[in-house]
Structure 1
Amino acid sequence: MKRMAMTLDKFTRSVDAKSLPRVLQMQSGYYFQGSGYELYGREGSFSCGELLKVIGISVTRLIVELQSEGSKSITVDLSLDYPGLFRIVTDKRPYTSIQEIVDSVRISPECLGQPEFYCPEKLQLPEGTIQAEESFRLTALRTEHGDSHVDCEVTRKDSKHIFTVKLSHTGEFYECADDQFYTLGELVECKMCKGRKRTVTWAKSLPSKEKCVSELPEDYSGELVLTPVYELQTVSKFGKNVVFIPSTLDVEVLDVTEESDGACFMQPLSFRDVFAKPSEFFPFKAEVIEPPSQVQEELGFLKSSKQVIVHSAYQAKRILASEIRSEAQRRFLIPVSYNGRFKRRPRTFPTAYDLEVAKSNMEQLHVVATRAFETHYEGLSSVLVGDQYLVHKMETSEVIYGDKRKTVEALACEKMVGKKYEAVLIPMCLDGGFVEVVHDKKQYMLSDICHRFALPFNVKVSRRDLSVKEDLLAGATGLQLEEEITDPYLIVSTLDLAQCWEVPVNRTNMALQLLERWNGPKLTQGEAVRSAVEEIGEDCYFTLRRYVNASVLPPPRPPKRPQKHSEDTVKLPPPRPKKPDPPSPKVSRPSIVFYALINNNNNNSYQMYFNEKLYSIDYSTNSLCGLCYYIEEPTYSQYSQTSI
């Protein structure tokens, strides 16, 4: 059967990214004359009949259509690094089979790559039954004995159940509602459905040091329809340059992959491609085909070197840290090998529950109250501004509330009265404030802090790292070391091994051509390999926090503030919003009930129970408008964890 030529744009939208690379033959269309031409800042040259090997397809920007009622819709262009957060509008169109879902959405081990669906009817499977309307998460795509299927995960009460569904399974499947916030980069990477446009609503702008080329109107609250603009990364026969071609180029192409010899084309590898190689693939010498456009000063050799050596790939530990300041916070990824010294800085605790979480067996926690609190229990102590406490442990205590005796949880402390100490119990539901009194004047290395103390932890650089030309951390007024993460890195060096650094995989865009295996000394993590402090943007910071928080177990049941009334439930009307949201018939939004607010010792990060789910909230990205009213005590069960 004779194959038909198609437009480059049609090929781009129809090809499965997993089938790349593909070889295309140029057929007909409009061509620039001469040996070279420029397309949107990308250079390249080819003629009719020329073969091009497509090695990658990426989204360069998004065309955003603003849907406004009663007015003409307008479109704006947004770059993928636009500093904003968006919420997905659920797609109401059904999928007719599991195969269609797999062909349309991205499924990966990461939490963002595991979409949720439901079926209006029961699904009878060999491992059991998925009930009608019960949501299931697609966690993996596997092929065994030539038969492809997906692994589905269903959470029921306190346990998770795994089901296997064949791709041939048919029915009606609908996308579940998604209450998370996403950056445009995350939407493009994980949430864009092939063959379908993605509709979102604007949530909030993130602070950014760089001015955006185009921005959404500040007062816009309607829906936005995202249309990706693609770009193809190609190589020509025997060429050594990667040619970038916009998918909108007015040419027709013919897929001749089966008839072409792929060996005559260059095989460029991205850092992600290299990281995915097995361990026996390393070390190797490579030619730099496409140097990174932006790279931190310490890794400048990647731009100037023609050839490099890639020694190994691994997950390296980093400490995620934020500058302690009210505005324009800087974010950092700090290697554990950082050679500077730190001194402790006081921590702040908004509740007594945070004191219980922060106490340590290594030392006595000494705090000063910064807000007053009057207790409603007889037997528990009130708190005045300036009161000083030595925190011991949480314990249960029998108290009198009204005319009834009841058992509550309280925090046992020693209150400093003059030169004496008085044993007191303060309520766990105390909504006040405390600041730590630091008696420790020692200087610590980062590795010592991670070993001796629990994160988050407040510090200040007391002696900069003398092994680097400019220490990014030295100028910070204070740092909060938030949590330890792991991130993919490659060990890359110059040919003479004079420069050898850990290079981040996800934040370095460059292409390499494998030349030959390297038979010199094999380097691994150690003294010869250097690590740099990275200053990261807001979008990268919140993406890293999202992946970390997704693996954290829910905290213990939070304390409950005592009620002033004896009735079982007291309901208060919510405050009237200043600017009510316009009605949206497409999306049903439930009433919000804040069950608990738990601080995790991060100045900006809190966790909240809502509709039997645990949410992680960062106050620097999500503003909660109005007041939060205590309505009723929830029924606690196994909570699924979601980030917003």
Structure 2
Amino acid sequence: MDNPEDSVSLSDFIAFLPVSSFPRIIKIASGVYLQSSVYDISGSECCLSTGDLLKVIGKELQSVHLVNQTTEKREELPDNFQGVFEVCGNNCAHATLGELHEELSCGDHMLPYWFTSASDFIVGDHVVQQQLPVYLSSVDKETHCAECQVYYDPHSYNITIPLSTQGQFYECKNTDSYTLEQVLLSPVLLKRTYKCSAMGSETYKIFPVFEVKTVMHMRKGFVFMPSSLEVDVVDITDECENFTFIQPLSLEEVCERESKFPVVAEILHTAECNHFAKNDTYSALQKGKRIVIHRRIISQKVLATGCKGKTSRFFYIHKQYKGKFRRRPREFSTIYDLWTKVVGGEQLSVVVTQDCESSDDNFPSLCIGDHLHTVHHTKTILSYENEPREVDVLMCNKESTDDEDEEEVETIMLPLYMEGRFVEEVKDHKKYSINNIIEKLKLPCEVKVVAKDASLSSDPLPSFSSLRLEEMVEEPVLLISLLDNISECFELPIKYLDISLILQECYDPSTEELTISTKLEELMESFYYSLRKDLPNQQLPPPRPPKRQVKPKDDKPSKKTGKSKKPVHPELKNTTDIHSKTPALAPPPVPPSPTPSPSVLPPIPVPPIPPRKCMVEETKISETHQVKKSNVYLPTPRKNSASHKDSDSDHDYEDMDKTMNDQLKITQKDTKKSRYHFKALHHNLYSCLIA
């Protein structure tokens, strides 16, 4: 079995091996893939070591190559190759008939052929002359003799020739032609050398490449490898008839063998379970650990979320959990949330805890303290943009209390898009188990754990002021226990754990009752959100409110114009504002004095009118206003600023008041002088008119 002389290349072994002889057990003898060399086939990494055993259970043709016997150049044939191959005869002489037969056959497979001898050879009492054609039809393995027919023109006779007969034997010229399919189906023909008119006058050997389907010891699943791997193998099928190839099984594959339960299994490989849940039980499932698989069940558990501040924790609460719950009021943020519960068959009573203003005149607004009792959901037709639309609404009985403590009940309809805060009125103060909640209440719901599970060493659920029970989760699990502690069982999820097992002997179930220890599991945050994606019946967001009617562009105020202009009286249109950008209007010109008469005394000369202080101040204020509007910072002028560094800010206002009073006095004096000059001018004009 270990004789290297018995080894052949993997390509020859697979090519010459007919499909009818499968399965075959082979042993890796030698080659490139020695000492645990690793290769990658179609993304599957595999390792071949000297002495490894493989069971070949099938092969599939992948490609066909021709190798030029002169240049050793390899060429791949197309799939639709239609050429015909002619056998090139073997002209080498062999000392015995057995050597020739070994050359022209392939193990137990042979085809009839013609041969002759360059010299006379003796068979018993007969002498077969040289160059006579002999047809070999079959060989008896027990007697090692060939059944032949000697042709002596025009006669022929049958003769049995021992394979040990000596002579100078060689094959006669073969004139037969074969298609590529015929060559591939015959191991004997694959050994031969051919000529093909479609490929020229060169001689070729045909090398098919197969995908080999194998089973490896202690390797999971089937292993596919090409027959072109440069390894030598030995066929040991006869020596290993009772050898069993052990294949690791995944949890899904173990479930398919449910008829063997309960069964003892050994763990060959296990991946980290930290991605799934914080469960110390899974940490005991290490390589080499033996477990008992009792049965496959459907696990029922509730997905729950607890919040503390900004931190959330997620749990699986199993039906075996013994804690007690009490209902808490639920909170809703939209009328749509209430509508979904009514559609599901619930009737709710809620209290409005936030004012809800309706943007649509068709629907009422809600105030804090209003009580709403859902009645039913319906549809109504409303007009939007002068078009009738059918919208979903929720009919409710609204109870509000006025100042005289008299309740008024009003039936209203509310749009689904209305937002607010609504708190459920809960009058149920019973204590529920997790089984009662599953049977009597509809999920999701808000609860508080009022009594912890005493069987747990640490129960985190009572520490939450509120738990949200989201929905029921059902999934297949394996009920298993450790072999050294049979009575205590726990659930092993099939879908989320990567564990490889080998099944061993069957387990005789005892009469002792099994106790399921899986009651509460804390889930990892990443696993929770991936689970939420896979769970069905996720609620859709509430509908959008209808678009408001857009006013025409002409009715909109211009963006460049700030506030709308106030109407101005016609008589005040020419009045100058002290904050206006336009300069103040000059005073009206003084009319020229008429030419005095000689008889009239010359008029009193009129002194020049000094510029009015108020107008100067007005111009300064206007210029200052213009500078301020140019977005340039100018410091406010102050007198003796250095001497007032330590003074209080009230002193600044006193200086401003003093300055304003001084300006007012100057203005009053100028006004009196202007009146005097005006009276003098009027007197002169009157005198001239009289004269």
Shorter chain as normaliser: what TM range?
0.3 to 0.5
**Structure possessing the higher radius of gyration over alpha carbons:** 2
Considering fraction of residues, name the structure with more helix: 2
Normalised TM-score (structure 1): 0.45
| Larger strand share, 1 or 2 | 1
Q: Greater relative contact order (Cα 8 A, min sep 6): structure 1 or 2?
A: 1
